[in-house]
Amino acid sequence: MTRRTLIAGNWKMNGLADGLGFFAEIAPAVAKADADVLVCPPATLLRDAARLAAPHGVRVGGQDCHAATSGAHTGDISAAMLRDAGASHVIVGHSERRADHGESDGDVLAKAEAALAAGVTPIICVGETREEREAGQAAAVVARQLAGSLPVVSPGMELVIAYEPVWAIGTGLTASVEDVAAMHDAIRDQLPEPLTTCILYGGSVKPDNAAELLALADVDGALVGGASLNPLDFMAIIKAVSRKSEPLR
């Protein structure tokens, strides 16, 4: 049994309807990819993106969801709504949500549970700040975030973890392969379903560094921000997936 590599794009607050030709553009790389490909556009584009992505075997996901199924939460979107619009996945606990909206590990847990209940796979993001890494706290911070935000998973439920060091997001800096390998290994040890749970790396993944990151045994894919906005860059990252059929441990 192997974990299938997942290359996920997070468009963040970028993209208008006239950019949805993206899916046809990346189709040649997706067709040859030894990976699943997911794009998380802004919610306004989700339904159209799902329709245009599906013929090319690309799935779409949300960037956040509310913990409740419905109700008086102006401006929020539930996991069931995302699923209704065609999402298979939803990112929860992205560091930008944690920082901009004060989301705690408990909030992230509630969102992940809501996603699972709605039949949407949560991509739970964790990662330390620069100050935390410099203070030697990276492993402890990520372990604490995981402990606080990992839902109990029933058989058949899938979740994905994304390790995104905050200082590497949008900065052009990436963690060293040694640091990524060590962190992914530590994360895997903490997972209830270590053999089957994908752990993605995110933080300035680009065409020129994707291959070495994706080659690491415990890196099961990438969560790509800026480079997922450019079809050529995103295709290059998809093509960088080596045929990974890592033995499970």
Instruction: Quote the least distance from Cβ 55 to ligand 13P, whole Å.
Output: 25
| Dist. CA 161–CA 177, nearest whole Å | 18
DSSP states of 36-98 as a string?
EEEEE--GGGHHHHHHHHGGGTEEEEES--BSSSSSS-TT--BHHHHHHTTEEEEEES-HHHH
**Residue 240 sits in the site that holds ligand 13P (CB under 6 A):** no
Q: Which residue is nearest to ligand 13P (CB)?
A: 225
d(CA 94, CA 100): 10
Positions in 6-45 near ligand 13P (CB under 6 A): 10
Residues 94-113 that bind ligand 13P (CB under 6 A): 94
Of these residues, 89, 94, 103, 132, which one is catalytic?
A: 94
Residue 94 catalytic?
A: yes
Exactly one of 62, 122, 165, 202 binds ligand 13P (CB under 6 A); that residue is 202
- Given the complex with ligand 13P, which of 61 and 72 has the nearer CB atom? 61
Burial 53-64 (b: 16+ CB within 10 A, else e): beebebbbbbbb
Between CA 175 and CA 204 the distance in angstroms is 9
Q: Does 174 bind ligand 13P (CB under 6 A)?
A: no
Question: How many whole angstroms from its chain centre is CA 209?
Answer: 17
Q: 128 catalytic, yes or no?
A: no
Residue 150 DSSP one-character state: P
Alpha helix (H) ranges present in the chain?
A: 22-32, 46-53, 79-84, 95-100, 105-117, 130-134, 138-149, 177-190, 210-214, 231-239
62 binds ligand 13P, rule: CB under 6 A: no
Site membership for ligand 13P, residue 164 (CB under 6 A)? yes
CA 195, CA 187: separation in Å to the nearest integer?
Answer: 12
Identify which of residues 79 and 168 has a Cβ nearer to ligand 13P in the complex: 168
Among 121, 197, 204, 209, binds ligand 13P (CB under 6 A): 204
Which residue from 67, 205, 210, 241 is in contact with ligand 13P, where contact means CB under 6 A? 205
Contact call for residue 224 and ligand 13P (CB under 6 A): yes
Among 6, 85, 169, 238, binds ligand 13P (CB under 6 A): 169
| Distance of closest approach, residue 71 Cβ to ligand 13P, in angstroms | 27
Count of residues in contact with ligand 13P, rule CB under 6 A: 14
Give the catalytic positions in this structure. 94, 164
Which residues lie near ligand 13P (CB under 6 A)? Answer: 10, 94, 164, 169-170, 202-205, 223-227
